[in-house]
Amino acid sequence: MLFLVFSVASAAAVSCSVAKVPATRMVSIPAVNAALQVRAHAQKSACMFACSSPSPQRHRAASPIMLSTATAAWTGGCVLFGASGAFVVVPNLKPWYESINKPSWSPPNNIFAPMWTTLYTILGIASARAFGLNPLSQPRALAVFALQAVLNLAWAPLFFGAKKLGLACFVSSALLASAVAT
């Protein structure tokens, strides 16, 4: 999780520095406070749900085959979802991305594909562990997951496709705040 937050923070910092947005304006303190309040509320709700739910012995456990299938589906879905941004990113790497002024600590282009594939694989495995066979049983967690997916999917077309660096900075900052909240 910390690796994911660090990666999102790095992407936010790069897109914001290219857009010339001061780092102090990337994520405002009220946004961080709101994210922490949402996290505290979610933890409190989860505790209340766990304390009031029926005993786990009353439910039949899912078979290992079903859990493996769910893990494969979540992981494959997340990796395919992440790869969908490549249609916008790859055509804009050589002509545009290489020509913009980036910070000295910006990683080389050839590291992005393996890094994001690894991150989406980890995200898929974590999603399978969190949601399992019935994602609708946790509507709040699924809503946060969907919000993060939409923000993540929106970033590449904004940054690479439309070249709207300020808006991409805002989306990265919102993604970072939502990742901190979870």
pLDDT in tens, 74-100: 999 999 988 988 888 988 888 889 899
Look at 87 and 9; give whichever has higher pLDDT: 87
Which residues have C-beta within 8 Å of that of residue 177, sequence separation ≥ 6?
Answer: 27, 31, 32, 34, 35
Q: Say whether pLDDT at 171 is over 70.
A: yes
Residue with tokens 């904004």: 158
For residue 19, the model assigns a pLDDT of 54
For residue 20, the model assigns a pLDDT of 57
Q: How far apart are CA 12 and CA 103, in angstroms?
A: 12
Q: Say whether pLDDT at 44 is over 60.
A: no
Tell me if residue 19 falls in helix, strand or coil.
coil
For residue 147, the model assigns a pLDDT of 93
For residue 163, the model assigns a pLDDT of 93
Q: How far apart are CA 148 and CA 16, in angstroms?
A: 19
Q: Say whether pLDDT at 143 is over 70.
A: yes
% of the chain surpassing 70 pLDDT: 66
pTM of the model: 0.63
For residue 55, the model assigns a pLDDT of 41
For residue 182, the model assigns a pLDDT of 75
> What average pLDDT does range 109-133 have in this prediction?
90
Q: Where does the chain have alpha helices with state H?
A: 2-18, 29-52, 64-83, 86-93, 112-131, 139-156, 165-181
> What average pLDDT does range 157-180 have in this prediction?
93
Residues 153/81, Cβ–Cβ less than 8 Å: yes
For residue 70, the model assigns a pLDDT of 87
Tell me if residue 98 falls in helix, strand or coil.
helix
Q: How far apart are CA 157 and CA 151, in angstroms?
A: 11
List the structure tokens of 2. 């910390």
